[in-house]
Structure 1
Amino acid sequence: MSTTRLPKTVEPYRLAASGERLEGRIVLSAMPRIVDAIGRQEAECHVVMTFDLDAQRQHYIEGSLVADVEMPCQRCLQAMPVHLESTFLLGMVTSDERAATLPARYEPVLVEDEHLALLPVVEDELLLTLPQVVYHDDADCAVSRDALQSGDEVEQTPARADNPFSVLRSLKDH
């Protein structure tokens, strides 16, 4: 099974039983948590998912995703291109108890009522792929490393903090 747009929901156990493969694109603007994390994106995420069963009859999804996004540089705050790429291996489970017994090579994905919404699954994987900090190369950044330094270090003596109980002492003395 191949498509240019991934379906919103699938029957993953049926797809795994027949060894199906889905390939398609999801627009990043349809992912609210991605928009919250890195801002509105015009790009699409290319996703490949293979549904299958392993030797122990565990249903799983093996997948990969690729997306090119714009993220703000942490130095100059200007947008810069970031290439995201990830592979994942998800074990299908119907409950948290089943997730606890899943072999370690799988990350659990909860399948409720025999259906799986693909958008949250892809969005989770993309969020895990996002870098924590992003910087332009020094030559490409509008702000140099030197501009971020605060200059000469001056030893400051801490200001004497007033004792919050001094008011009580003055009342006691009267």
Structure 2
Amino acid sequence: MMTTRLPLHVEPYRLAAGEQTLEGSVPLDAMTRLAEEAGPQQGDCEVRLAFGVGPQGRRYIEGWLSASVQLACRRCLEPLPVSVESRWLLGMVSSDALAADLPGDYEPVLVENEQLNLLPVIEDELILSLPQVVYHDEAACAVSRDQLASRPDTEDSDETATSPFDVLRTLKDKH
């Protein structure tokens, strides 16, 4: 478990030139968009970022994160702890036009004024890594499979229900 807080504002071009690696944690409660998506969170997200310069002089950030988040079970809506881990590769660009020139294995990250705020980058990657649907095990869920199954009403059903065409039949028989 990492105890060092990751610096949230960095100079990524300088870090890439020195092929630096940053490791640390980011508090989950600082991620407002994650809270909007998955509810309030507690704990930390462990992060490792390796900055470097690849072939053709392209500067990149190779990232990894790991976190335990609380997501709502889609059956009972109670919190369910979920472990999330993700790896990614970002290509640093200074404009949207340069982002279009990145090879397919890089995702662009926009660096303005040679500064980068890491919190939105890490938060984006964490949100993208969340599973779309989570469920408790059936034995641990407050909602049973029987409660979810659709079944016919148990009320007295009129098996001898009249056909809507009976009226037409009686009219025909009168003639």
Asked whether 1:32 is paired with 2:32, we answer: yes
Larger radius of gyration: 2
- One-letter identity of the residue aligned with 1:151: R
Structure-1 separation of matches of 2:77 and 2:62: 36
What is the match of residue 66 of structure 1? 66
**Equivalent residue pairs, number:** 153
Structure-2 separation of matches of 1:66 and 1:8: 17
Structure-1 separation of matches of 2:103 and 2:72: 38
Asked whether 1:148 is paired with 2:141, we answer: no
Q: Report the CA distance shift for 1:47/1:107 in structure 2 as closer, same or farther (over 3 A).
A: same
RMSD between aligned alpha carbons? 1.6
Specify the SS of the correspondent of 1:56. Answer: helix
- One-letter identity of the residue aligned with 1:4: T
What is the match of residue 98 of structure 1? 98
What is the match of residue 121 of structure 1? 121
- One-letter identity of the residue aligned with 1:122: I
Asked whether 1:51 is paired with 2:51, we answer: yes
Partners of 1:3 and 1:22 within 8 A in 2 = no
Per the TM alignment, residue 140 of structure 1 is displaced from its structure 2 partner at its CA by 1.4
Asked whether 1:85 is paired with 2:81, we answer: no
Per the TM alignment, residue 139 of structure 1 is displaced from its structure 2 partner at its CA by 1.7
TM-score normalised by structure 1 residue count: 0.84
Structure-1 separation of matches of 2:93 and 2:45: 25
Asked whether 1:111 is paired with 2:111, we answer: yes
Specify the SS of the correspondent of 2:4. Answer: coil
Q: Report the CA distance shift for 1:128/1:76 in structure 2 as closer, same or farther (over 3 A).
A: same
Per the TM alignment, residue 3 of structure 1 is displaced from its structure 2 partner at its CA by 7.8
Specify the SS of the correspondent of 1:5. Answer: coil
TM-score normalised by structure 2 residue count: 0.84
Per the TM alignment, residue 28 of structure 1 is displaced from its structure 2 partner at its CA by 0.6
Structure-2 separation of matches of 1:29 and 1:35: 8
Q: Which runs of 5+ in 1 are unaligned?
A: 155-174
What is the match of residue 162 of structure 1? none
- One-letter identity of the residue aligned with 1:90: L
Partners of 1:8 and 1:119 within 8 A in 2 = yes
Structure-1 separation of matches of 2:120 and 2:129: 14
Structure-1 separation of matches of 2:54 and 2:22: 18
Structure-2 separation of matches of 1:103 and 1:82: 32
Structure-2 separation of matches of 1:5 and 1:47: 10
Q: Report the CA distance shift for 1:144/1:33 in structure 2 as closer, same or farther (over 3 A).
A: same
- One-letter identity of the residue aligned with 2:27: V
Structure-2 separation of matches of 1:20 and 1:102: 22
